[in-house]
A and B are shown apart, each in its own frame.
Chain A
Amino acid sequence: MIGNLDLSFFNWELVSNFLAKGFWFSIQLTLIAMAGGIVFGTALALCRLSGRPWLALPAATYVNTMRSIPLVMVILWFFLLIPFLIGRSMGAELSALITFTLFEAAYYSEIMRAGIQSVARGQVYAGYALGLTYGQTMRLIVLPQAFRNMLPVLLTQTIILFQDTSLVYAIGAYDLLKGFEVAGKNFNRPVEAYLLAAVVYFVICFSLSSVVKKLQTRIAIIS
């Protein structure tokens, strides 16, 4: 019953011994996959919008394939394939970092594609009229506006990414959830540990999404 819940095991020692390491990895995974995913995703989006079939087709295939496979399966695939390709085994944590970066790129690329398409066509023509090259027009005129328009969506995707990092459970990487699980096993209090995990994830994700909501109203370019 609820009365049997015992949270006394939750103290500073538990945080530093079990949770800090996992939390740090979850944050690292989120930030690296976000940065790498946005860079690679933007490149994919530019390929798809380039109008050259030999660029657009592979990029579209990549994005659509990634988006139609469950993340857990993608994690398993990379964990199986990376050692096969590089010839030696790789830790679950490093494998997760590579997987998430490549997987999230597909989702970020769809956001960036929508962002680039939301920039008025006249902006591109204006760039060309000023004598800028395609690359300069993209870098100096289109992408800054696309980023600004899409910032709330990119951040929302990052919150989803943070939640999804818990799926590294499939290959046994030590993330925040794993930290709670190990702590729960150690103190023989699994119920409380899972409950606390839910509370912690909720507080983090809820406050982040409140921030994004505020940002949304502030950052929009009034057109």
Chain B
Amino acid sequence: MHLEWGFFLRDIGDGETTYLSWLLSAWGWTLAVAGCAWVLALLLGSVVGTLRTMQVTWVASLANAWVELFRNIPLLVQIFLWYHVIPSLIPPLRDVPSFVLVVFGLGLFTSSRVAEQVRAGIQSLPHGQRHAGMALGLTTAQTYRYVLLPMAFRIVIPPLTSEAMNIIKNSSVAFAVSISELTLFAMQAQEETSRGIEVYLAVTTLYIITAMTINRLMALIEKRVRVPGYVGGDR
């Protein structure tokens, strides 16, 4: 098999862009979609996950319903809902750029998975922690803010790391609504250049590099925030 990489420096036909610069801009879109969706997922997922552990039943059920809803519909279908269905049901949203819609689709989908991890993290804490907070006269909000969440968030860093790596992979689904990210680049450049193997190799490598970088970054965060005597901390 003979690989030929020269075409990356070739013009795509508009007189200024090369395939290489297109590839890099596609990487940028992948990072932008995944990054924005991750922020949304982390915010919503933390709130929903926390609410699921509340002692108030209807709040917990509502939060559970959120998780079930976003977990049981395929991501691609959810992206189509955001892109095709929601703007036509809610006319004011018609002019929202597809990038934003995809970020919401991917973000809400991932929020259910983050919520699941956050709930598991909080519930893995000994009951005594919650009781100790109450015994000290803290309100529910204070108990969460000062006692439960600081420990729970440290516990969930490893599972959140794999979710962060998943969101990079899942952002590839944005190709279906014409976001010019890596996967769409792969499909289009493959068609145009007929050098599919080289194109796919380049794209796959960028996905792996991105995922590895996130993995290292999260490991760094994990190391920075660890508490001596606890999960992975110094004894």
CA distance A208 to B196 in the complex (A): 38
Contact A72 B172 (CB under 8 A): yes
A94 within 8 A of B: no
Distance in Å: Cβ of A80 to nearest Cβ of chain B: 5
Contact A73 B200 (CB under 8 A): yes
Q: What residue of chain B has the Cβ atom nearest to residue A74's Cβ?
A: B204
B-side contacts of A205, CB under 8 Å: 71-73
A-side contacts of B75, CB under 8 Å: 163
B81 within 8 A of A: yes
CA distance A70 to B176 in the complex (A): 14
Contact A69 B204 (CB under 8 A): yes
Contact B89 A1 (CB under 8 A): yes
Contact A198 B190 (CB under 8 A): no
Picked from B89, B169, B190, B212, the residue with its CB within 8 Å of the CB of A80 is B190
Query: Knowing A166-B77, A198-B78 touch, does A73 contact B186 (C-beta < 8 A)?
Result: yes
B103 within 8 A of A: no
Contact A201 B169 (CB under 8 A): no
Picked from B74, B81, B200, the residue with its CB within 8 Å of the CB of A76 is B200
Contact A70 B76 (CB under 8 A): no
Contact A68 B211 (CB under 8 A): yes
Contact A202 B73 (CB under 8 A): yes
Contact A70 B172 (CB under 8 A): yes
Q: What residue of chain A has the Cβ atom nearest to residue B68's Cβ?
A: A206
Picked from B74, B77, B78, B173, the residue with its CB within 8 Å of the CB of A72 is B173
B-side contacts of A129, CB under 8 Å: none
Contact A190 B91 (CB under 8 A): no
Contact A191 B187 (CB under 8 A): no
Contacts between chains A and B (CB distance < 8 A), count: 99
B-side contacts of A166, CB under 8 Å: 74, 76-77
Contact B74 A73 (CB under 8 A): no
B-side contacts of A191, CB under 8 Å: 84-85, 88-89
A71 within 8 A of B: yes
A-side contacts of B81, CB under 8 Å: 194-195, 198
CA distance A1 to B87 in the complex (A): 10
A197 within 8 A of B: yes
Query: Knowing A76-B186, A80-B197 touch, does A68 contact B208 (C-beta < 8 A)?
Result: yes
Picked from A71, A169, A209, the residue with its CB within 8 Å of the CB of B169 is A71
CA distance A198 to B81 in the complex (A): 8
B-side contacts of A222, CB under 8 Å: none
A106 within 8 A of B: no
Contact A68 B73 (CB under 8 A): no
CA distance A71 to B176 in the complex (A): 14
Q: Interface centre among A84, A163, A190, by most B CB within 10 Å?
A: A163
Q: What residue of chain A has the Cβ atom nearest to residue B172's Cβ?
A: A70
B residues 83-99 with Cβ under 8 Å of A? 84-85, 88-89, 91
B111 within 8 A of A: no
B-side contacts of A84, CB under 8 Å: 197
A167 within 8 A of B: yes
Contact A73 B69 (CB under 8 A): no
Contact B69 A202 (CB under 8 A): yes
Q: What residue of chain A has the Cβ atom nearest to residue B183's Cβ?
A: A72
CA distance A164 to B78 in the complex (A): 12
A-side contacts of B143, CB under 8 Å: none
A-side contacts of B78, CB under 8 Å: 198
CA distance A163 to B208 in the complex (A): 23
Instruction: Annotate A183-201 by CB proximity to B: 1 below 8 A, 0 otherwise.
Output: 0000000110011011001
Contacts A69-B169, A69-B204, A70-B170 known; 5 new A-B pairs at CB < 8 A: A2-B89, A166-B74, A198-B77, A198-B81, A209-B71
Q: What residues make up the interface of A, taking CB atoms closer than 8 Å to B?
A: 1-2, 5, 68-73, 76-77, 80-81, 84, 163-164, 166-167, 169-170, 177, 190-191, 194-195, 197-198, 201-202, 205-206, 209
Q: 9 nearest interchain CB pairs? A: A70-B172, A205-B72, A163-B74, A70-B169, A166-B74, A72-B172, A80-B196, A206-B72, A166-B76
A selection of 20 A-B contacts at a CB cut-off of 8 Å is: A1-B89, A2-B89, A68-B211, A68-B212, A70-B169, A70-B183, A71-B172, A72-B183, A73-B186, A73-B204, A76-B183, A76-B186, A163-B72, A164-B74, A167-B76, A167-B173, A195-B81, A198-B73, A206-B72, A209-B72
